[in-house]
Structure 1
């Protein structure tokens, strides 16, 4: 049975840009499970699967409907234990919780600012007003005030990747010898900005850049199948 993945898009449907939806897409591919991608814009998310969630990703697996990328990954590992594991055990799942906390508090915090205006400009008109209101409410600043911080966030972004850069000196993946859900967490963040922003945050020859390129090639180039912005 094909799993349905509801994922976020803007006006350009070739670039589904949500980092959380990318975590789920990579998870499904990692497990080798067939899935169909159904695209939804911001203002239509409340209509997905009868309003089960205020956010995507949402998946339908037969009669099961789930939201939240981490809970989806845990469900997939539990439901399909014969397929490659996303966590490699209880310790791996606990480690992924730390990676997610670091990614969202450090990387997402910067990327929300860096890509703000470009995400807005890439939305359909009916979604732009929603986006401005929701981001101002979330970040506690006006849209103009947030956008004014962009250059400083770009300048400081490479340093935020230092923990990953140092780790990659001793192993090729966050998961160790092969990728796990923890890799997809950080990949989702960097894929997000790759798809929506012209900002170039990764330098050639950097260990993080090489890791990201390997992630793009995973699962028959699933990540690379969406064209970069610009």
Structure 2
């Protein structure tokens, strides 16, 4: 049985960058499950698996198709209970829901302000037209206007991670002594920024930056297979 994970890329298929897809990449590695990754440009996603989903990640596991990163993680936990746990129980699922909301309401918008124009530049012509139209409509500004405020956005970014910074005073990972899916959620966001914009947003002495480096080293350096912009 071939397990397939559809992810997101720009014109360079070797540089998949979606935060949601990276969550699943590490979740599959955590479970020790082999898979084939198929990076896909924005405008090709609706054609995948007979239009199964408008977004990635999409996981095909045998005859089953699952979309949405959290739903995929729940599926992996339920389907492969003999493999290392992604949640460590119901409490870990609740923790992961909180981290997901924190990441997507606080961290993702901040990364968009830093990286959205860089993401545009990574795309081919068809995807650039789609991306500009949809993102400028959603954000209410042109990509050039957002890029002009990039330095201010970078300066404002690190303080948004203070809750994580404080948590890491007590433990090596959000999951405790080792990583859980909660870690992969936030890792996905910072990996998105690293691949699209660069790797020097957080100081080397920052506990969050040090945690991120530990996450990059997981599973034989799986996160480092794509270099920083």
TM-score, normalised to structure 1, is: 0.96
Structure 2 regions of 5+ residues with no counterpart?
A: none
In structure 2, C-alpha distance between the alignment counterparts of 1:160 and 1:185, rounded to whole Å? 16
| Correspondence for 1:120 | 120
| Correspondence for 2:166 | 166
| Correspondence for 2:155 | 155
| Correspondence for 2:7 | 7
Asked if residue 58 in structure 1 is aligned to residue 49 in structure 2, the reply is no
Q: Please give the per-residue CA displacement for 1:109-147, whole angstroms capped at 9, x wherever unaligned.
A: 010110011111111111101001111222233333333
| Correspondence for 1:44 | 44
Q: Please give the per-residue CA displacement for 1:75-114, whole angstroms capped at 9, x wherever unaligned.
A: 0000000001111111110110010000011110010110
In structure 2, C-alpha distance between the alignment counterparts of 1:107 and 1:122, rounded to whole Å? 21
CA RMSD of aligned residues (A): 1.1
Contact 1:20–1:188, Cα closer than 8 Å, also in 2: yes
TM-score, normalised to structure 2, is: 0.97
- Paired residues, what number? 229
In structure 2, the CA distance between the partners of 1:199 and 1:117, relative to structure 1 (3 Å rule), is farther
Contact 1:115–1:197, Cα closer than 8 Å, also in 2: yes
Structure 1 regions of 5+ residues with no counterpart?
A: none
Q: Please give the per-residue CA displacement for 1:152-184, whole angstroms capped at 9, x wherever unaligned.
A: 211100101111111101000000111000000
In structure 1, C-alpha distance between the alignment counterparts of 2:208 and 2:188, rounded to whole Å? 14
Contact 1:154–1:199, Cα closer than 8 Å, also in 2: no
Tell me the secondary structure at the aligned position of residue 137 of structure 2.
Answer: helix
Tell me the secondary structure at the aligned position of residue 157 of structure 2.
Answer: helix
| Correspondence for 1:16 | 16
| Correspondence for 1:95 | 95
